[in-house]
Chains A and B, each alone.
Chain A
Amino acid sequence: MNRRVLLVSGLALVAAAGIGASYILNDRKMTETLAVGGPFRLTGTDGQEVTEAALKGKYSVFFFGFTFCPDACPTALNTFTLMLQKLGPAADMVQPVFVSIDPERDTPEAMKAYLESFDPRIIGLTGSPEAVAETARIFRVYYKKSGEGEYYLMDHSTAIIVMDPDFHYAGVMNGAMPVDEMTARLQEIMQKGS
């Protein structure tokens, strides 16, 4: 009996992973034609509502992650920190945004404390589970809770989505890119848009 349950849930997991993967793959191809990113309503680290209105006028660079993340998230945020330094004056046109896909753990206070270890220009956004799910849908970002209990993990897209100063989709990068590559890619996206 247990084995059967295990088998069924295993199959469901494989199917879910497959759907997730194909969603992301399709996403890559569709980004040019379908809208990626758009109006959202989330909560800043001060507990106040933040919408896309606050980000217009700059290139906003969205990374979706969570604070209970030992590797990919601190690495991406550290890369953002170094990228802002590398960009020099052009950094004034860039607004990095870290969106939590783990609203259960990531309160505004937790996000605030976490981001203190990185460049202060990076803003953190979280919200209700519904607000986060809706934002992820708009940005075509996949995430899923993995594991049970206090120490569950989150599987999540590593795509970084760049929105232009009018808050239209401008390009995509990857959170695992080394800083030189990410900086060059962002500069390329910004040149194309200007």
Chain B
Amino acid sequence: MRKFILALLATLALALPAAAHEQKHGDLLLHHAWARATPAGAKAGAAYVRIENHGDNADTLTGAAAGIAAMVEIHRMSDENGTMVMAPAGPIEIPAHGTVELKPHGLHIMFMGLKQPLKEGDTFPVTLTFAKAGPVELQVVVEAIGGTGSHDGDQDDEGHDEGNGEGEEHSH
């Protein structure tokens, strides 16, 4: 029995990196594509992903597509003196050796006219298009309505390293 539990733990340990899924596409590494579950009847939803560019040349995220919604765009949400403002973000540069993070309260893949609710535990495909790297299909995992995309705890830890909530662009 004990051996079985140990084996189980070992299997889980191996499975974990896969859960926080990564996908390589040319010089780009797309890390942990996830969406927030949507409330009943909601016609809009959002997905997030971290995009790392390990190449020597900048690339540009030019658009997104998905079958689950009538219209898909990259949007930027920002808090301007207490007013939440949302608008299409336009092309987004991924700097050479840089990272752009799509995350809550910042840049996101916006689904408009959802054909069905996003249910926790489901996955669905989204295609991101980059100017240089071309299209890449991601499997987006649906997390809880209160999800924050962080894998190190529950929803309470939202925000402590989230800065001012802009879609952050930084080098590494």
Contact = CB atoms under 8 A, between A and B. Distances in A.
Contact of A69 (B44, B81, B156, B157): B44
Interface in B57-98: 70-71, 75, 77, 79-87
A113 interface: yes
- Secondary structure at the A interface, as helix, strand, loop or mixed, is mixed
A113 B40 contact: yes
A125 B43 CA distance: 19
Contacts, number: 117
Contacts of A142: 83
Contacts of A175: 84
Nearest to A115: B39
Interface stretch (A4-12, A48-56, A150-158): A150-158
Contacts of B156: 178-180
A123 interface: no
Contacts of A155: 83-86
Interface string A39-50: 000000000000
Interface stretch (A70-78, A126-134, A162-170, A184-192): A70-78
Interface string B1-43: 0000000000000000000000000000000000010111111
B95 to A, nearest CB: 25
12 contacts: A70-B38, A71-B46, A72-B105, A74-B39, A78-B146, A117-B38, A118-B39, A146-B87, A157-B83, A174-B82, A175-B84, A178-B158
Interface of B: 36, 38-46, 70-71, 75, 77, 79-87, 104-105, 108, 110-113, 145-146, 155-159, 165
Interface of A: 17, 20-21, 24-25, 27-28, 67-72, 74-75, 77-79, 81-82, 105, 110, 113-118, 142, 146-147, 150-151, 153-159, 174-176, 178-180
